[in-house]
Structure 1
């Protein structure tokens, strides 16, 4: 018997005696795990946790729950929403940054937590560019300037004129320090060159109550909590902060066209995973996310929350995070803002 035949018989005998030997072949060989694929059984084999870094009931929570059920069906495993509020969104966001990169922990990302907090809070504890694998965008929501009906100003230009006529006398309500409403108010002060008094509230609810009650006359906030009052005419929208008019409010001018050229402040919502999550997992979630966001049902639910559906690739979401973090961190440094 030749040496070559002896070697082949020895290998065949080893394969019979050691059934696990075939599974030990290198990943780049046929039958092994391909590059970017999660090891072990096909993902997912158990429920996936979607962490929302804010309490239940807010805009972030609503966005997460809109996609969670549909994503569950698409992935074949339940996507469980886990609200972990605290620290201005830092606690839950930091938990995802430190989670195992196996695809079983996701984050509902939001402009405030991802693009504002890392520079605003010294103790944020995460880097938006290094600690996450962006999956994709799902919605955009412009910040709006709301006013009590008794406020005489009808446009952004009117608000600026009133503020300049009475420095420090006009109070502008916002949600908590670091949120989209608060940062928009700071950007407004800096861009318009006005002296106004900002009144940050612990939550959107208390702010809306004081605005409807006339305790503050104007406020920056998101649209969803104000829709009922807008329809009842107990509040009105002075301007939207997006570059283009918002589909839900086509008659309301933008800040850019009504007195503050170039002004823009919009919130983006998306899904992220811990850095190092297998690209195949990221790609699978992105495909499912884009499909469901483009569906009529999910689009309708997003619009009901005051947003507009928005899809992207992981790379496009990463670029969006980079642009927004660059913009807001520059404002934080210029004004010396601190969230701690």
Structure 2
């Protein structure tokens, strides 16, 4: 009898000692910082992912920390504790473009972060004002390049501003095609699209999700997507690479980063959770609403990808002459 009572007491003590750690695991919160305002595509994608990842990680909350083109939110995470509890949804802007565009960026995009996984890629699309395309007899990328070579400086393209993804895509296109076009910067992507629809500019390099409704309505003429592979959302559109400019590749990508020095096992646990979420059929379907294609990777693959993107955009930003002081 004494032995049975001792065993019961020992088991009860073990449960009591383990309860705090179990409770801590259940109430642990991962903060996913979005360095842009609420309501945009990146924010929406982050919330879809956070909702699914909580199955493996516990409570995952999204916190918006906008400012300085994403630099403020990225810097907040770069300086956070390296325990895996604070991570950031970085993007091509925060980790590949801004370090060359801004006179001062408060973080190093490579040294200050531990890559977790690439999340998604959203194709950009080369679109023309439909009336302008018809008037100029342009129905393809080859037509566009031929016209631009015969009429240097006659075409213009709009973007969301100097150093924006649309501006840099245009500069890459001009350089690779050997043509001259005039850049017209607008105060954001929405005004740039309105300018294109109104015929103020001839063409834009726009986000496919943003442009798709006007493409389908016939207001915009889509010539090609800017990714190396065709988009599953509009597979009928060729790529610029297959339309005469081999290797041309520009897209909008999002990915997760933890602070540098985050332990490898913690990064691996985060990678497992988010990769599983990205492979979930429901998440894929919801991403498709934004024409975002899930692109899970290992931490090493994502790190190598970011380094390559950073090197690519160094040349593009410098060639564009864009600079933010």
Residue 48 of structure 1 and its aligned partner are, at CA, apart by 2.2
Residue 231 of structure 1 and its aligned partner are, at CA, apart by 2.1
Structure 1's 181 and 335: CA in aligned 2 closer, same or farther, altered over 3 A? closer
> Secondary structure of the residue that 1:221 maps to in structure 2?
strand
- Aligned counterparts of 2:222 and 2:165: Cα–Cα separation in 1: 17
1:47 partnered with 2:29: yes
Give yes or no for contact 1:88–1:178 (8 Å, CA) kept in 2.
Answer: no
Deviates more, 1:134-143 or 1:327-336: 327-336
> Secondary structure of the residue that 1:151 maps to in structure 2?
helix
2:45 aligns with 63
Residue 236 of structure 1 and its aligned partner are, at CA, apart by 2.7
2:161 aligns with 176
1:225 partnered with 2:210: yes
Using the size of structure 2 for normalisation, the TM-score is 0.86
Deviations 1:108-130 (A, max 9, x none): 11112111111221211211110
Deviations 1:218-272 (A, max 9, x none): 1012111122222222223111111122111111111112132221112221111
1:324 partnered with 2:306: no
> Secondary structure of the residue that 1:143 maps to in structure 2?
strand
1:198 partnered with 2:179: no
Task: Give the number of the structure whose residues are more often helix, by fraction.
Answer: 2
Aligned residues: 301
Tell which structure's C-alpha radius of gyration is larger: 1
> Secondary structure of the residue that 1:150 maps to in structure 2?
helix
1:299 partnered with 2:281: no
1:148 aligns with 129
Deviates more, 1:107-116 or 1:211-220: 211-220
Deviates more, 1:128-137 or 1:96-105: 96-105
Deviates more, 1:132-141 or 1:256-265: 256-265
- Aligned counterparts of 2:44 and 2:193: Cα–Cα separation in 1: 18
2:13 aligns with none
> Secondary structure of the residue that 1:127 maps to in structure 2?
coil
Alignment of 1:172-321 (within 5 A): 172-321=157-306
What 5-or-longer segments of structure 1 have no aligned partner?
Answer: 1-38
Structure 1's 252 and 72: CA in aligned 2 closer, same or farther, altered over 3 A? same
> Secondary structure of the residue that 2:241 maps to in structure 1?
coil
Deviations 1:313-332 (A, max 9, x none): 11110000011111111223
